[in-house]
Amino acid sequence: MERRRSNAAVPVAMAVVIVGLVLGTYSVVLPILLGLMLLGAAGSFLSTRLNPLSVGFYLPVKPSFAAIGVVALGGVLLFLAAWMYWTHGIASIVPGPRAPRL
């Protein structure tokens, strides 16, 4: 009997990316922190997916490789969004009135 892999992390990752894109207009630190969280979650999911000793210990249904890829891609997308917000002057590092950058 083959166990089905879970894709439950995909909608959660997409919601975190949307929240990060919105919060990134206030401060570039917020999407970077959310991106680090998503990359950490992808690494944690990958370790449970490849570790044969973690069967049923950490997650009852292991995440699929596609779900892990979407979570990691969401983290990279948030890093890219933070960079673009910073370089185009959409957001500053500290939220508040924008000071002119030199």
Q: What string of pLDDT tens digits covers the 102 residues of the chain?
A: 456 788 888 999 999 999 999 999 888 999 999 999 999 999 888 887 666 665 555 666 788 899 999 999 999 999 999 999 989 888 888 776 665 454
Write down the pTM of the prediction: 0.82
Q: What is the pLDDT of residue 61?
A: 77
The confidence score (pLDDT) of residue 51 equals 65
The residue type at 14: M
The residue written with tokens 């449970």 in the block is: 48
| Alpha-helix residue ranges (DSSP H) falling in the chain | 9-23, 29-50, 65-87
For residue 60, the SS3 value is: coil
DSSP class of residue 25?
Answer: T
Tokens 């894109």 belong to residue: 21
CA angle 78, 13, 57 (to 5 degrees): 125
